[in-house]
Amino acid sequence: MPGPARPAGPRAYRAPKPHKDGAEPPKIPGELVPKHVAIVMDGNGRWAKSRGLSRTEGHEVGEKSLFDVVEGAVQIGVTHISAYAFSTENWKRSPEEVRWLMGFNRLTIRRRIDEMDELGVRIRWSGRRPRLWKSVIDELEMAEERTRDNDRFTLNMCVNYGGRAEVVDAAAALARDVAAGRVNPNRIDERVFARYLDEPDMPDVDLFLRSSGEQRTSNFMLWQAAYAEMVFLDTLWPDFDRTHLWHAIQIYADRDRRFGGAMPNPVADDAARTPSPLAG
């Protein structure tokens, strides 16, 4: 049964919870803070194995890491996080782990929906429907509907998601519209194609962050992260918290982002302006 309707007008969101040790975000100018961070939450299994625990116990601790990172993202001014929760390749894992992960993704949303809603988080879902449990889809869609008016922060849960799958599905949908006469193939450009992605109105990824020391994208956000800065940290995901996010953002802020352009070279420019002594 749906809850009571919200009162009309802007909502007052709660403040982010403080870090457990009282850490504060670094002072970084707003224009240097990434708006969209894509996170590959890697290392749950290795963290658990090193402690003689099951892989599922690593996933359970990793849930706390994600939502501490969300609190820290709101603190520092990030507006979007895309979290790689379950990939299209994760179906290759053991049936027992897949079954546990399906239930875990469903219950994670259910457990966290109230606090995320109070924080002003809009929850969205990227991923394929086929093979995904209906109960998981129902929970994700419920969370999307309940939080759709929140405008402080967006958490994009990527469940049964793959970057190549997203591009293939977008191309297929675009092809159907071309065949039906709804799209002129001579007018297709990147802007038109992007409208067929899972969440076309989300900004491109600025910072691509992976935990655990692995240095690969693993088929995540291939289109959206075309110009993202890559940061790979050695920390395993269950040991991650908002301070690791802030560290990655500091690395990001210290880089020059040129998007294919070139920075002026004072030495070369001065040389070009100085007349040659051999010039007649």
Give residue-wise pLDDT tens across range 16-41. 999 999 999 999 999 999 999 999 99
Given this model, what pLDDT does residue 272 score? Answer: 54
Residue 70 CA to residue 242 CA, distance in Å, equals 8
Q: How confident is the model at residue 66 (pLDDT cuts 50, 70, 90)?
A: very high
pTM: 0.89
Average pLDDT for the chain: 92
Given this model, what pLDDT does residue 280 score? Answer: 44
Given this model, what pLDDT does residue 94 score? Answer: 92
Q: How confident is the model at residue 11 (pLDDT cuts 50, 70, 90)?
A: confident
Mean pLDDT across 2-14: 65
Residue 137 pLDDT > 60, yes or no? yes
Which tokens is 206 given?
Answer: 């600025």
What interhelical angle do 55-76 and 95-119 show, nearest 10? 20
Quick: pLDDT tens for 147-205: 999 999 999 999 999 999 999 999 999 999 999 999 999 999 999 999 999 999 999 99
| SS3 of the chain: helix, strand, coil, percent, to 5 | 45, 15, 45
Residue 272 CA to residue 262 CA, distance in Å, equals 17
Quick: pLDDT tens for 40-49: 999 999 999 9
Quick: pLDDT tens for 195-211: 999 999 999 999 999 99
Quick: pLDDT tens for 102-118: 999 999 999 999 999 99
- Higher per-residue confidence, 275 vs 3: 275
Given this model, what pLDDT does residue 172 score? Answer: 98
Which tokens is 20 given?
Answer: 């457990």
Quick: pLDDT tens for 210-262: 999 999 999 999 999 999 999 999 999 999 999 999 999 999 999 987 766 66
Rg of the Cα trace of the chain? 22
* Contact of 161 with 140, CB cutoff 8 Å: no
| DSSP 8-state code for residue 155 | E
Residue 254 CA to residue 81 CA, distance in Å, equals 20
Given this model, what pLDDT does residue 257 score? Answer: 75
Residue 279 pLDDT > 50, yes or no? no
Catalytic positions are 42, 90
Mean pLDDT across 121-137: 96
Given this model, what pLDDT does residue 35 score? Answer: 98
| DSSP 8-state code for residue 219 | T
Q: How confident is the model at residue 139 (pLDDT cuts 50, 70, 90)?
A: very high
Residue 85 pLDDT > 70, yes or no? yes
Residue 201 CA to residue 28 CA, distance in Å, equals 26
Other residues' Cβ atoms within 10 Å of the Cβ of residue 174 = 18
